């Protein structure tokens, strides 16, 4: 025996189907590619690091900017001022054992052109994630920590790309 569809369910499905139309009607758009305001970029970090590889991939996928390996060829240089991972105890249990950590990823940088003029003043990106800890699941928590740091690095690259795209190149010739 089949039952007729409930009127409430039909209304819910209709509302769910209308949601994309409402989102586009309000001006919502997915983030697209944001071109960078310079043609060549030198990354002032080890070219073999995971972070440098992720930044290169993002630049290659989202803009026409080339990442060069020689800083004299670059229109701008990304200078890394700080790059640190931290693990801080947030809470202890009644026996004095760690119950919760906070993972932090701190990245400070600035962007300078060929004439050492600042294109972007020193910036800092600070990301945090909380990690519940259990002594009986040490291996699982280590893997979770690795995944959280990987997720934080991905967020870092996205924030860095947005800040680089917002940079304004100084005028080439000084005005009289």
Q: Is the pTM of this model over 0.85?
A: no
CB-based contact 100:91 (threshold 8 Å): yes
Pick the CATH number of 32-165 from 3.30.1460.30, 3.30.160.150, 1.10.40.50, 3.40.50.300: 3.30.160.150
Using CA atoms, how far residue 173 sits from 66, 115, 163, 169, in Å, is 24, 12, 24, 12
**Beta carbons of 155 and 54 less than 8 angstroms apart:** no
Digits of tens for pLDDT over the chain (176 positions)?
666 656 666 666 666 666 666 666 666 655 556 789 999 999 999 989 999 999 999 999 988 999 999 999 999 999 999 999 999 999 999 999 999 999 999 999 999 999 999 999 999 999 999 999 988 898 999 999 999 999 999 999 999 999 999 998 876 544 44
Query: Do 101 and 131 form a contact (C-beta atoms < 8 A)?
Result: yes
What is the layout of strands, in order, in the sheet containing 40-44?
Answer: 66-68, 40-44, 76-92, 98-113, 118-132
């Amino acid at each position: 025996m089949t039952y007729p569809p409930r009127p409430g369910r039909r209304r819910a499905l209709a509302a769910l189907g209308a949601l994309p139309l409402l989102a586009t009607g309000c001006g919502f758009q997915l983030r697209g590619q944001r071109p960078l305001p310079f043609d060549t970029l030198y990354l002032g970090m080890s070219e073999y690091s995971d972070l440098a590889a992720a930044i290169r991939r993002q630049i290659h996928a989202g803009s026409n900017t080339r990442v060069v390996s020689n800083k004299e060829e670059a229109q701008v240089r990304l200078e890394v001022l700080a790059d640190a991972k931290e693990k801080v105890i947030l809470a202890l249990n009644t026996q004095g054992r760690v119950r919760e950590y906070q993972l932090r990823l701190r990245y400070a940088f600035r962007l300078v052109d060929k004439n050492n003029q600042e294109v972007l003043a020193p910036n800092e990106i600070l990301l945090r994630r909380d990690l519940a800890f259990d002594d009986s699941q040490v291996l699982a928590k280590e893997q979770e920590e690795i995944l959280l740091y990987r997720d934080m690095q991905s967020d870092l690259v996205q924030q860095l790309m947005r800040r680089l795209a917002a940079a304004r190149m100084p005028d080439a010739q000084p005005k009289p």
